Amino acid sequence: MEARTARSELTRTAIVGAALDLAAAEGLEAISLQAVADRVGLSKSGVFSRVGSREALQLAVVEEFGRRFLADVFVPAMQQPKGLPRLDEIVRRWIVRVRDVESRTNCIFTAGAFELDDRDGALRDHLHAEVARWRSALRRTVVQAIEAGHLKPDTDADQLVCEVCAMVMGALHDARFMRDPRVAERAMSTWQRLLSTYLA
């Protein structure tokens, strides 16, 4: 029984991974049970039995992207001391991810936001919640840097988070559309200049 459960979970992981690849290439709306079934070599009903509806699969993709994003950017940075070292590590890792991952595939957080910005529904709500959760974690890190005395005491944490996100969105544009090989270098320079205006 345990072997069957493990095998089923492995298949579900493969299904969600294939759907994530599809969404990264073509968008969240491109996900369909049949398209994913074709990618993993299962029947459409086989995919449905493991993940449920198309919408459930789309939601699972958003969750998996969020998990991978945090694993690449946020979790390793937690090894750094609270304050500026941690904040700097997060932003640097985010820029590296833009260069190494999102330069080849869409960022679900950003591309999905543009794809779903004028639509209502569970998928938009779920994506919004994931992005808001990430921004909240980034904001906590900024607040910790203020409390540690690394950033000016009058620093507007929401403003800094907004500026960092705008910087990364610009880097995504230049990595994906402009195909600028120096995108990470330029973004790092922008980050250092931005950070210098907030340092205590």
Given the candidates 3.40.50.1000, 1.10.357.10, 3.40.50.300, 1.10.150.20, the CATH classification of the domain at 54-196 is 1.10.357.10
Give the start-to-end residue ranges of the domains of the chain.
54-196
Tens digit of each residue's pLDDT (9 = 90 or more) over 117-170: 999 999 999 999 999 999 999 999 999 999 999 999 999 999 999 999 999 999
Confidence label for 199 from pLDDT (cuts 50, 70 and 90): very high
CB proximity list for 53: less than 8 A, separation 6 or greater: 33
- Partners of 98 in beta bridges: none
Tens digit of each residue's pLDDT (9 = 90 or more) over 72-118: 999 999 999 999 999 999 999 999 999 999 988 889 999 999 999 99
Confidence label for 1 from pLDDT (cuts 50, 70 and 90): very low
Burial class for 11, CB neighbours closer than 10 Å (0-12, 13-18, 19+): middle
Tens digit of each residue's pLDDT (9 = 90 or more) over 165-194: 999 999 999 999 999 999 999 999 999 999
Chain mean pLDDT for the chain:
93
Dist. CA 166–CA 159, nearest whole Å: 10
Output the pLDDT for position 2.
Answer: 56
Confidence label for 195 from pLDDT (cuts 50, 70 and 90): very high
